[in-house]
């Protein structure tokens, strides 16, 4: 049986979490078109009849502007420790820029590397794609370069095939029915944050933190109480919205996603609280779990 650990790396917002969710066919990691949505190492545990692959979805590596950003980069680099294969994602319709090169230098000594050019259907110039693939192979040591389209599920089988060829023989690390090493409490927190980010768009995604205050499992229902944290009173007004309209919509969205993911009825109580400058305070960042 092929078993091992695979780190998924790339700049912010290149589709790492989307790829992981497609492979798992389950909402392991939250997604948004906003950079730095993922803030933790998320493990997705893929099983089939002859393999167990533990995927580590990482925060997008970037030049940090605050303490939170530094913490996210550290989490990504930590994921490289003791992994068997690195999956590097880069958008097909963008040049290999400084951010990509910073990551490529970090993984230069990794022996098993697979590059994935995402959204190849958005790039019409086949010669340009071919040239980029050759650069990744010849200059950065990738053995294989794959491509994914918007319909990412089409290439999942190919990704799994390439990974199996590079993983060692071994025993399973987790039970076959386990999909992630994260708790229901953690997944609930991330779903709430995803709903808030997608609802608020460009207004304040990186100032949002979520803490689960209570998670009670009853028969056929989860009772969840959570706080959404921001840094200033003005931000609190944006999250709450006129007459509570925004926070209500965030709650409805999060509740629907959790009901689908957990296959349970959800009672969700959301409150918004100011936690001044938490993204610049190392202790507050740790307390929030990032």
Query: How do the pLDDT tens digits run along the chain, 290 residues long?
Result: 999 999 888 887 788 878 888 888 765 555 544 444 444 556 788 999 999 999 987 764 444 445 444 555 565 556 566 789 999 999 888 888 888 998 898 888 888 999 999 888 776 778 888 888 999 999 999 989 998 876 677 788 889 999 999 999 999 888 887 778 778 888 899 899 889 988 887 666 567 889 999 999 988 899 999 999 988 899 999 999 999 999 999 999 999 999 988 889 999 999 999 988 877 777 777 776 66
Report helix, strand or coil for 227. Answer: strand
C-alpha to C-alpha distances, 141 to 77, 137, 164, nearest whole angstrom: 19, 5, 19
Q: In the numeric block, which tokens belong to residue 108?
A: 């230069």
Using CA atoms, how far apart are residues 57 and 39, in angstroms rounded to an integer? 10
Give dist(CA 136, CA 100) in Å, integer.
Answer: 11
Token duo for residue 95: 């040049």
What pLDDT score was predicted for residue 27?
57
Could you tell me the strand order of the sheet in which 85-91 lies? 42-48, 51-57, 2-10, 85-91, 113-118, 144-147
**pLDDT for residue 124:** 75
Separation between Cα atoms, residue 206 and residue 202, nearest integer Å: 9
For the chain, the structural domain boundaries read 2-166, 184-288
pTM: 0.67
Binding-site residues sit at 10-17, 57-61, 118-121
Residues placed in the known binding site for GTP: 10-17, 57-61, 118-121
CA distances from 179 to 130, 173, 245, 263, 268 (A): 35, 12, 35, 15, 24
Q: Residue 24 in contact with residue 44, Cβ under 8 Å? A: yes
Secondary structure class of 205 (helix, strand, coil)? helix
CATH of domain 2-166: 3.40.50.300
The pLDDT value recorded for residue 252 is: 97
CB 126 within 8 A of CB 133: no
Residue 70 is predicted with a pLDDT of: 53
Instruction: Tell whether domain 184-288 is in CATH 3.30.300.20.
Output: yes
Question: CB atoms < 10 A from the CB of 146, how many?
Answer: 19
CA distance 76 to 179: 21
């Amino acid at each position: 049986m092929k078993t091992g650990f695979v780190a998924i790396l790339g700049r912010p917002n290149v589709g790492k979490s989307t790829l992981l969710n497609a492979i798992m066919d389950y909402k392991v990691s939250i997604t948004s078109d906003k950079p730095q949505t993922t803030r933790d190492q998320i493990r997705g545990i893929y099983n089939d009849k002859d393999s167990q692959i533990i995927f580590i979805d990482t925060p997008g590596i970037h030049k940090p502007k605050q303490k939170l950003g530094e913490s996210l980069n550290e989490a990504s680099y930590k994921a490289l420790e003791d992994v068997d294969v690195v999956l590097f994602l880069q958008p097909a319709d963008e040049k290999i820029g400084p951010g990509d090169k910073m990551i490529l230098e970090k993984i230069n000594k990794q022996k098993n590397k697979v590059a994935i050019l995402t959204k190849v259907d958005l790039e019409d110039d086949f010669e340009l794609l071919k040239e980029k693939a050759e650069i990744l192979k010849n200059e950065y040591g990738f053995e294989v370069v794959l491509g994914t389209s918007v319909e990412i599920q089409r290439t999942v089988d190919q990704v799994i095939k390439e990974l199996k060829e590079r993983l060692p023989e071994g025993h399973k690390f987790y039970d076959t029915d386990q999909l992630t090493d994260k708790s229901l409490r953690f997944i609930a927190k991330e779903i709430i944050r995803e709903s808030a980010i997608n609802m608020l768009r460009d207004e304040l995604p990186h100032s949002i933190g979520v803490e689960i205050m209570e998670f009670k499992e009853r028969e056929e229902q989860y009772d969840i109480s959570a706080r959404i944290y921001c840094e200033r009173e003005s931000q609190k007004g944006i999250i709450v919205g006129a007459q509570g309209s925004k926070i209500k919509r965030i709650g409805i969205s999060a509740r629907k996603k959790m009901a689908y993911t957990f296959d349970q009825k959800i009672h969700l109580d959301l409150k918004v609280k100011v936690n001044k400058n938490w993204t610049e305070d190392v202790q507050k960042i740790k307390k929030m779990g990032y």
